[in-house]
Amino acid sequence: MPILATPTPGPLLLTPTDHTLIMIDHQSQMAFATHSIDATNLRTNAALVAHAAAGFGVSTILTTVAEKSFSGPIFEEIKDAFPTAEVTDRTSMNTWEDANVIKRVNAIGKDRLVLAGLWTGVCIVGPALSALAQGFEVYFITDACGDVSVEAHERAVARMIQAGARPMTSLQYLLELQRDWARTETYEMTTGVAKKFGGAYGLGIIYAKTMFGASEGSHAA
């Protein structure tokens, strides 16, 4: 008997309410030595992720390492998305070994995590493998992460995939949360984030709207 298809999303797709986003160590000192992605793209992608999460009301944890003594403040683009959010500073390279971060994870109480940060091979691999070992589902946003070399980033990505974590990109994250242009309550926010941080895709939205009054889906001008 053939499988009967239904118009329903698969369970591995993210929704705004089913996960916690943890943005880790998007800081100046960490970015200086990041060479797997240029700083402009890194900041833009991190901003896209942060503004998407803020717009959709995703439970989000922001964390830094040695902010005052070495690494500097979190990117302004992230603070702009979460102007009143607590930023948890740590001494541990592995975020998952910080008791204050774990307290926040447990207080939110969601079993699915999305990670992004610097560096991929240390500050993302550490919590990814640790959370997986404790039974959490883990996703990570590859282009909102970076490492000291392309090799270091790619080996970290491979290591996490082998352990069961699921990779995605920043624009994919935004559009997966929206997923249907008929969702009018978040349409303007989603396209607004895309226009500001979505690169060529955002330019396309601006062009289509300006020149033809065009909109995605059923959103007629």
Residues carrying an active site annotation:
123
Give the C-alpha separation, 1 to 82, whole Å.
51
Name the phi and psi angles at 72, rounded to 5.
85, 175
**Residue carrying structure tokens 């974590």:** 165
- Would you say the C-alpha torsion 68, 72, 75, 80 has a positive or negative sign? positive
Tell me which residue of 29, 20, 27 sits closest to 63, measured CA to CA.
27
Buried b (16+ CB within 10 A) or exposed e, 42-66: bbbbbbbbbbbbbbbebbbbbbbbb
